[in-house]
C-alpha cells in the first residue's frame, strides 16, 4: 500500500536522514505474533499507551549520498509497504443445484403441464368421436376393407373358431387399415408436433416457437384432406377405426419438463438437441381384442408397427432420449374414460420411471388420480371389465420386471427392499431373503453380496404409546423388535407420537434407562379392552378423562356424546360422566396438548343429556340472535340521533349546499 506523509513529517524526516536519497528509503518491520484474549479489556488500555521497543528491528541507513540531489525540492515522501499474503483462501464451490424456490417452480410447472396436456387429450379424443367426422371417414374407406371388417365380425360369432384364429384375423385387418392410412396421408414438414423441452429452452423467452392454432373445423378438414402433422395423423387413424366399429383408444404420451432435473447449468446434451422431432411417437392408438382379452398397439405413421406388448414395447424410447420419454402414457377411450397405462410401455417402471413421475409421493399420486378422474366422463368414473383385465396385466408386468440392477434403485421400490434402506420405524418380519445383489466399490470392482427382501415382509413398528393411540396394547411377554433413540422435543417444533407423555404419566415400561424407545409390530399387540363400569362409576385416568382414540375403547354400557353442550348438560343434571380424550395435538410448543371432544357417560343417561344439550343450544342461538338485534338497534338509534341533529342544525343555521 502507498502512504503519503504530510509536509511537516517529511521535513523532519529529511533533516535527520541527510545521507538518504528520496525513494530509496526502505523500511522493514517484522511484527511478532501475540495472542491477546478478547476478554482481557483492562490490559488493552495499558498496551495502547506504551509501545515495546523490542518489537522493532534496527534499520540500516548507511546509504552513499547523492550530491546532485536537491533535498529541499521534495514535499512528500512515498513509502510502499508490501503486505505478505496470509494464506490461500478456500475457493467456494460453484453451486450447480437450483434453489428451493426454483424447485417449487419446476414442480409446479410440471404439474401445470400435466393438467394442460390431459385436457388437450380429452379435447382431441372428443373430436375423434364426432359423428360427422366418423360418417365421412367411413364413406371414404375402400370396399375391400369394409368387406374385411364384415368378415372379421362374422368370424367372432363362430363358436368353433379358436381365439388365436380370431386374433390373427384382427391383426391382419389392422395391418391393412394401417397401410391404407399411411399411403393416403401426407405429412406436412412445417406442421408443429409435441415434444419434450429442456429447462434451458423454457427459460429462453427470446426463442421463437413453432405453433399452430387448430380448431375443430380445421381438425376435421385436415383429416378429410389427409394433410397434417404426424400427431394429427395418429388421431385421425383412431377416428377411422371408430368409424368401422372397432373399440379403439387414443394413446397420448405426455411430455412435461423433468422436475427431478435440479441442474442450474443446462446439460451439453440439451444444446445438441436441435431437432424437435423424435423417432418415437407421441400419439398412437390401441384396439381392444375381446377374444384374447388384451390391447393391440398400433403406430400407423412414425414406426408403422403393430404389437401386443409382452415385455418391452417397440414404442418405448430410451432413457437418454431428450425429446421423448414414456413417463406419462394416458389412454382415452370412446366413452370418455382417461386411464394411465404407462406400465405397459415402460420396461423398468418400478426401478426408474416411477422416480420421474409426480406419483412417486403420496400427495402427488392422489393429485394425479384426481386429475384423471376429473378428465373422465360420468359413465367412466367407475372401472369396467376391461379395466380389471388391464390391472391384472399390469400386476403381471410388475412381477416380471424383476429386481433392480443397482443399490440406488431399491430406494422406495414397491416390491423389493434391502435392509440398509429401511426407515427407523420399519423392520423385516419374517427376515427371509428372496435374492441377492452385489455391491460395487468406488473403483468399480465387485463387492459383497447384499440380501434382498420382499416389500411385503416389511412391518411397521411403533412404541407402546403410539399403539395405544390406535386402540391397541402390547401382549404379555412381547420383546421389542427395534430400539430408537428418544428425541427431545424442541420449542415450536412438532413432537413425535412415540415420545409424547400419556395423560396417566406412566412411562415405567416404555423407555430404557438410557432413554431409548422400544418399538413393536402390530402382531405383538391386541385390541384394547376398556375397564368395566362398577356400581355406575366410570374409571378415568389421572387427569379425570377417558381415552377414546378408537370406537372400541368406549366401555360397555357407556356412550360417547360429542355435543359441545354435553358436559354442561351432565353437570346440570348431576349425572356420571367423564371428558373424552380423542387425541393429542403435536404441532407447536414443547408439550402435546390433549384434544377433548364431548363426554363419555352411561348409556341410560344419553336421552336426558341430549334433550338438555338441545335446549342449551337453542338458548345459545337465541342469545346470539338477541345480541345481533341489540347491535342493530343501537346502530339505528345512533343513525336517527345524527339525523335529528342534522335537521335541527339545518333549521337553526340553514342548509349547506353540496
CA 28/CA 57 separation, integer angstroms: 8
Q: Which of 80, 287, 321 is nearest to 173 (CA)?
A: 287
Three cell numbers, residue 533: 363400569
Q: At what angle do helices 606-653 and 566-573 cross, to 10 degrees?
A: 110
Task: List the chain residues with pLDDT less than 70.
Answer: 1-95, 205-208, 265-277, 444, 487-515, 587-591, 657-658
Q: How many CA atoms lie within 13 A of 417 on its CB side?
A: 20
Q: 3-state class of 526 per DSSP? A: strand
Residues in the chain: 658
pLDDT value of position 587: 64
CA 345/CA 322 separation, integer angstroms: 17
Asked whether 257 and 116 are in contact (CB, 8 A), the reply is no
pLDDT value of position 46: 47
Three cell numbers, residue 482: 427395534
Burial 256-271 (b: 16+ CB within 10 A, else e): bebbeeeeeeeeeebe
CA 162/CA 417 separation, integer angstroms: 43
Q: Which of 269, 302, 298, 278 is nearest to 286 (CA)?
A: 298
pLDDT value of position 637: 96
CATH 3.30.70.2460 domain range(s) in the chain: 461-611
Query: Which residues does residue 416 pair with via DSSP β-bridges, in sequence order?
Result: 454
β-strand 186-187 against 227-228: which pairing, if any?
Answer: parallel
Cα 550 to chain centroid distance, Å, stands at 31
CATH class of the structural domain 461-611 = alpha beta
Lookup result for grid cell 338438555 = 612
Q: Which of 608, 530, 609 is nearest to 566 (CA)?
A: 609
List of residues 6+ apart from 272 with CB closer than 8 A = none
- Asked if omega into 126 is within 30° of 0 (cis), the reply is no
CATH 3.90.260.10 domain range(s) in the chain: 100-203+213-262+276-402
CA 375/CA 381 separation, integer angstroms: 9
In sequence order, which ranges of 129-190 are alpha helices (DSSP H)?
131-140, 143-157, 163-184
pLDDT value of position 567: 92
Asked whether 563 and 629 are in contact (CB, 8 A), the reply is no
pLDDT value of position 504: 40
Three cell numbers, residue 325: 420419454
pLDDT value of position 643: 94
Q: 3-state class of 624 per DSSP? A: helix
CA 41/CA 175 separation, integer angstroms: 95
Q: At what angle do helices 230-243 and 131-140 cross, to 10 degrees?
A: 80
Q: Is 100-203+213-262+276-402 a CATH 3.10.20.440 domain?
A: no
CA 341/CA 568 separation, integer angstroms: 57
pLDDT value of position 495: 47
Query: Which residues does residue 526 pair with via DSSP β-bridges, in sequence order?
Result: 473
pLDDT digits (tens, 9 = 90+) for 325-351: 999 999 999 999 999 999 999 998 988
Integer CA distances (angstroms), 564 to 493, 552, 596, in order: 30, 22, 10
Amino acid at each position: 500500500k502507498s502512504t503519503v506523509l504530510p509536509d511537516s513529517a517529511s521535513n523532519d524526516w529529511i533533516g535527520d536522514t541527510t545521507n538518504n536519497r528520496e525513494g530509496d528509503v526502505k523500511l522493514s518491520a517484522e511484527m511478532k505474533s501475540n495472542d491477546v484474549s478478547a476478554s482481557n479489556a483492562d490490559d488493552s488500555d495499558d498496551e495502547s499507551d506504551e509501545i515495546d521497543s523490542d518489537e522493532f528491528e534496527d534499520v540500516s541507513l548507511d546509504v552513499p549520498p547523492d550530491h546532485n540531489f536537491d533535498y529541499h525540492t521534495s514535499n512528500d515522501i512515498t513509502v510502499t509497504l508490501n503486505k505478505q499474503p496470509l494464506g490461500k483462501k478456500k475457493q467456494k464451490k460453484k453451486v450447480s443445484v437450483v434453489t428451493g424456490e426454483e424447485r417449487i417452480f419446476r414442480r409446479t410447472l410440471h404439474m401445470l403441464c400435466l393438467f394442460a396436456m390431459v385436457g388437450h387429450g380429452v379435447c382431441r379424443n372428443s373430436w375423434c368421436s364426432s359423428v360427422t367426422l366418423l360418417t365421412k371417414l367411413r364413406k371414404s374407406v375402400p370396399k375391400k376393407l369394409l368387406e374385411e371388417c364384415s368378415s372379421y365380425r362374422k368370424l367372432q360369432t363362430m363358436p368353433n373358431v379358436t381365439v388365436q384364429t380370431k386374433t390373427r384375423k384382427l391383426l391382419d385387418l389392422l395391418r391393412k387399415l394401417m397401410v391404407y392410412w399411411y399411403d393416403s396421408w401426407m405429412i406436412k414438414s412445417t406442421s408443429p408436433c409435441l415434444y419434450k423441452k429442456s429447462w434451458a429452452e423454457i427459460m429462453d423467452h427470446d426463442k421463437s416457437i413453432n405453433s399452430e392454432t387448430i380448431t375443430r373445423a380445421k381438425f376435421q378438414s385436415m383429416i378429410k384432406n389427409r394433410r397434417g402433422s404426424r400427431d394429427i395423423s395418429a388421431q385421425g387413424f383412431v377416428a377411422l377405426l371408430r368409424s368401422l366399429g372397432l373399440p379403439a383408444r387414443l394413446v397420448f404420451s405426455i411430455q412435461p419438463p423433468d422436475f427431478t432435473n435440479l441442474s442450474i447449468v443446462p446439460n451439453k446434451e440439451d444444446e445438441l438437441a436441435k431437432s424437435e422431432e423424435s423417432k418415437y411417437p407421441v400419439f398412437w392408438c390401441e384396439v381392444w381384442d375381446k377374444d384374447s382379452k388384451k390391447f393391440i398397439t398400433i403406430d400407423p405413421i412414425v414406426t408403422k408397427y403393430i404389437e401386443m406388448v409382452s415385455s418391452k414395447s417397440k414404442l418405448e424410447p430410451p432413457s437418454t432420449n431428450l425429446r421423448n420419454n414414456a413417463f406419462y402414457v394416458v389412454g382415452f377411450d370412446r366413452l370418455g374414460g382417461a386411464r394411465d397405462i404407462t406400465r405397459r410401455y415402460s420396461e423398468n417402471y418400478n426401478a426408474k420411471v416411477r422416480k420421474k413421475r409426480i406419483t412417486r409421493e403420496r400427495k402427488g399420486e392422489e393429485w394425479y388420480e384426481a386429475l384423471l378422474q376429473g378428465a373422465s366422463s360420468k359413465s367412466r368414473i367407475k372401472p369396467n371389465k376391461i379395466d380389471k383385465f388391464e390391472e391384472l396385466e399390469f400386476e403381471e408386468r410388475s412381477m416380471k420386471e424383476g429386481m433392480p440392477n443397482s443399490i440406488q434403485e431399491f430406494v422406495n421400490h414397491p416390491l423389493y427392499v434391502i435392509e440398509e434402506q429401511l426407515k427407523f420405524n420399519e423392520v423385516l418380519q419374517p427376515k427371509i431373503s428372496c435374492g441377492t445383489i452385489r455391491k460395487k466399490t468406488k473403483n468399480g470392482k465387485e463387492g459383497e453380496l447384499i440380501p434382498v427382501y420382499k416389500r411385503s415382509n416389511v412391518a411397521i413398528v411403533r412404541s407402546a404409546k403410539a399403539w395405544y393411540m390406535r386402540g391397541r396394547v402390547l401382549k404379555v411377554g412381547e420383546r421389542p423388535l427395534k430400539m430408537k433413540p428418544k428425541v427431545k422435543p424442541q420449542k415450536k417444533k412438532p413432537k413425535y407420537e412415540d415420545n409424547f407423555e400419556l395423560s396417566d404419566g406412566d412411562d415405567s415400561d416404555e423407555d430404557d434407562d438410557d432413554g431409548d424407545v422400544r418399538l413393536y409390530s402390530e402382531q405383538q399387540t391386541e385390541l384394547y379392552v376398556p375397564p368395566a363400569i362398577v356400581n355406575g362409576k366410570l374409571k378415568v385416568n389421572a387427569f379425570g378423562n377417558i381415552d377414546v382414540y378408537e370406537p372400541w375403547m368406549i366401555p360397555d354400557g357407556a356412550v360417547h356424546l360429542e355435543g359441545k353442550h354435553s358436559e354442561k348438560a351432565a353437570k346440570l343434571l348431576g349425572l356420571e360422566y367423564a371428558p373424552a380424550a380423542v387425541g393429542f395435538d403435536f404441532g407447536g410448543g414443547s408439550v402435546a396438548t390433549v384434544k377433548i371432544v364431548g363426554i363419555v357417560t352411561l348409556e341410560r343417561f344419553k336421552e336426558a343429556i341430549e334433550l338438555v344439550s338441545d335446549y342449551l343450544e337453542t338458548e345459545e342461538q337465541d342469545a346470539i340472535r338477541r345480541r345481533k338485534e341489540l347491535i342493530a338497534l343501537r346502530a339505528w338509534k345512533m343513525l336517527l340521533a345524527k339525523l335529528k341533529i342534522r335537521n335541527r342544525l339545518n333549521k337553526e343555521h340553514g342548509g349547506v349546499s353540496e
